[in-house]
Structure 1
């Protein structure tokens, strides 16, 4: 009696063409870099009032292997009170994503919009815990619509390219 291929063993093809179905999965998430600075301690703890907080985000993405991509969500938080730096937090939170059979035009939107959305809740908790552990009230970052930000940046980039093309045509 012949055995039917099930794809259960590594390297075996999956039945019914399932090995060509698009798939994305999280392989791992990790703190790539974390820094907390409290340069005005202990004097900063005697000050009253709410600090002025500046939050910056950046997303980096690259391919690290066949069908494996790394996305790094970088969050920088700076808090100042009465001209003194209360604290600085710098977090690079990474994720490895397996992407198989994804059309090329969908890779970048996933890497710069969907993957950061997946990573953000974990990075948010790390930032809040670091600030709390530094002796301050935890900062709960507001949720971010990474898809809208991606679309805005893509539209701005396309507009910039269109303007550059127009300028070159007038030369």
Structure 2
């Protein structure tokens, strides 16, 4: 908000987003076909990645946001590796209008967590004997919109 001449209003407190703590909630890496999976391969593996975001309030202005990432690399019917990571953070969100709170929690918070989760996955895959898996950046705005659309469709399909 501005005071009319373009400068911020001094009577409205600025929105704040603070990371209180971030942590690995769960991490699993499996290399079920080692050492066979670690040898030279004739083709590139098919890699499937799934990303989800969950959140819950832990205090009046504090929210735990969990970024869940699952992945699997396969060649034919042989699994090279698979992993599951739940990486979370507790965020304090202040002075954000109620109508903007959900997008902040579900878009901005996972966006802050993602680089750390990406590094954990790359390191785990590398430590499992493979080249590091560097995940592409995630469009959390698109993911948010996709989830909202899916929820709307599900609600419309439920009988009244």
TM-score normalised by L of structure 2: 0.84
How far apart are residue 47 of structure 1 and its match? 4.4
Superposed CA RMSD in Å reads 1.9
Quote the residue 1:65 is aligned against. Answer: 59
Paired with 1:64 and 1:26, the residues of 2 have a C-alpha distance of 13
User: For each residue in 1:82-110, what CA deviation from the matched residue of structure 2 results, as whole angstroms up to 9, or x when unmatched?
Assistant: 31111111100001100123222212111
Residue 35 (structure 2) aligned to one of 42, 47, 69: 42
| Deviates further, 68-77 or 49-58 | 49-58
Shift of 1:145: 0.8
Matched residues in 2 for 1:39 and 1:161: separation? 40
In structure 2, the residue matched to 1:86 is 80
Change in 2 beyond 3 A, CA 1:87/1:103: same
The structure whose Rg is larger is: 1
- Larger mean CA deviation between 153-162 and 77-86 belongs to 153-162
Unmatched segments (≥5 aa) in structure 2: 1-9
TM-score w.r.t. length of structure 1:
0.79
Q: Which moved more, 1:39-48 or 1:140-149?
A: 39-48
Cα distance in 2, alignment partners of residues 153 and 57 from structure 1: 12
Q: How many residues align?
A: 150
